[in-house]
């Protein structure tokens, strides 16, 4: 079956994250070993691979997927799409983080808060697959596990790739630079006072009766 679908591991990642299918069903469809699929679910295999939706890229129908989810013994049949190789994977949804690694996310959030405060909460939530509430709790040290949270590079933790990290930091830095530039342009206009000669303040001073 693997020779009939594109990106078998990326497809398996998506199926693990978005369906209730068994490891055996996913393995059969993607041409992988069931233990390899289990490794994907546990975060030990394909850790840096983003999921590819087989329905969106024309390799699977919704009907086939629904049948498989309703019957653990059912084996899905791939669609043959002449345009499949020209299609790009759909935009990835929230990043899937295996349960075994979810305790690492607060450490990664703390690292960003300390080293890259220019990265927005929205960017951080998307990159790490977390929520704004969790980010706020780590930043404010109100997280239930604050005593044990320490800043650790998310690449070291295996939560993101170096390329993903560099891209997010670069985008955030460029956005901040543009905002700072706009602020510098606006501030002088709002803060500059008109000369006294223009306001008539000096004439009013001269006309005031002397005591």
Residue ranges per domain, the chain?
2-86, 99-191
d(CA 56, CA 101): 28
C-beta of residue 32 within 8 angstroms of C-beta of residue 12? yes
CA atoms of 31 and 190, how far apart (whole Å): 65
- 48 in Cβ contact with 11 (< 8 Å): no
Count the helices and strands in the chain (H runs, E runs).
11, 0
Where the chain has pLDDT below 70, the residues are 1-4, 80-102, 187-211
pLDDT of residue 13: 93
By CB atoms closer than 10 A (0-12, 13-18, 19+), residue 194 is exposed
Structure tokens at 39: 């490794």
Instruction: Count CB atoms within 10 A of the CB of residue 12.
Output: 29
pLDDT at position 132 is 92
| DSSP code string of 110-149 | HHHHHH-TTS-HHHHHHHHT--HHHHHHHHHT-STTGGG-
Is the CB of residue 121 less than 8 Å from the CB of residue 132? yes
Sequence-distant (≥ 6) Cβ neighbours of residue 155 within 8 angstroms: 161, 162, 165
Polymer length in residues for the chain: 211
Eight-state DSSP code of residue 86: G
Specify the residue for token string 């005593």: 147
Task: Give the helix/strand (H/E) hosting 90.
Answer: none
17, 54 Cβ separation under 8 angstroms: no
């Amino acid at each position: 079956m693997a020779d009939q679908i594109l990106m078998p591991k990326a497809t398996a990642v998506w199926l693990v994250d978005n369906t209730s299918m068994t490891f055996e069903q996913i393995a059969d469809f993607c041409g992988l070993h069931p233990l390899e699929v289990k490794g994907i679910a546990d975060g030990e295999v394909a850790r840096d691979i983003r999921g590819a939706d087989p329905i969106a890229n024309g390799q699977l129908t919704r009907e086939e997927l629904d049948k498989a989810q309703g019957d653990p013994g059912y084996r899905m049949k791939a669609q043959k799409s002449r345009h499949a190789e020209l299609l790009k994977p759909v935009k990835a949804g929230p990043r899937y983080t295996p349960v075994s690694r979810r305790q690492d996310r607060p450490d990664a959030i703390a690292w960003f808060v300390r080293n890259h405060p220019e990265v927005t909460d929205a960017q951080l939530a998307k990159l790490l697959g977390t929520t704004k509430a969790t980010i706020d709790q780590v930043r404010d040290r109100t997280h239930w596990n604050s005593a044990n949270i320490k800043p650790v590079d998310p690449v070291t933790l295996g939560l993101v790739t170096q390329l993903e990290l560099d891209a997010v930091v670069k985008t955030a830095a460029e956005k901040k630079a543009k905002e700072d530039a706009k602020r510098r342009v606006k501030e002088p206009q709002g803060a500059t006072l008109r000369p006294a000669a223009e306001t008539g303040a000096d004439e009013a001073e001269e006309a005031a009766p002397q005591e």
